[in-house]
Amino acid sequence: MKQQKMFGLILLVVGAVLILSALYIKGEVKKGRQQIAQTEFATGTTRKFLSSQGSNVQRYGDKGLSYIDDKVSEGKTDVHFYEKLAYGMIIVGAIGVIVGIYVLCKKQHEGA
């Protein structure tokens, strides 16, 4: 009986920690998306400016901007990964909390 209650309590705590961690990750993902959007806007504005400056300036500017585009692409990949991770953690955490509560509230069957 005591082991069963301890198991339920551990599941409940681990599930809650997973959910809280996932919420933190989702907040960081939101910040990352905002940074990506700001960077994309800035590079778009820079491209427009460089295109009006002539082909030599535009050629050198495009080299620098292509590096930034690669970094933005990596950032989008990372954001997508962590977003999926957070959703998975929420699902597993919710299952842990539900099973933990069930185990804690389940009545011990006497007999056998």
Q: Reply yes or no on whether the pLDDT at 45 is more than 50.
A: yes
pLDDT band, very low/low/confident/very high, at 108 (cuts 50, 70, 90): low
* Dist CA 47 CA 34 (whole Å): 20
pTM (predicted TM-score): 0.78
Q: How long, in residues, is the chain? A: 112
> 10: which residues sit within 8 A by CB, 6+ positions away?
100
- List pLDDT tens digits, range 46-71: 888 877 777 777 777 777 788 888 99
User: What separation in angstroms does the CA of 86 have from each of 18, 57, 76, 82?
Assistant: 9, 43, 15, 6
pLDDT of residue 109: 58
Both tokens assigned to 72: 């933005």
- Determine the Cα angle at 43 with ends 50 and 29, to 5°: 175
Longest dimension (CA), the chain: 89
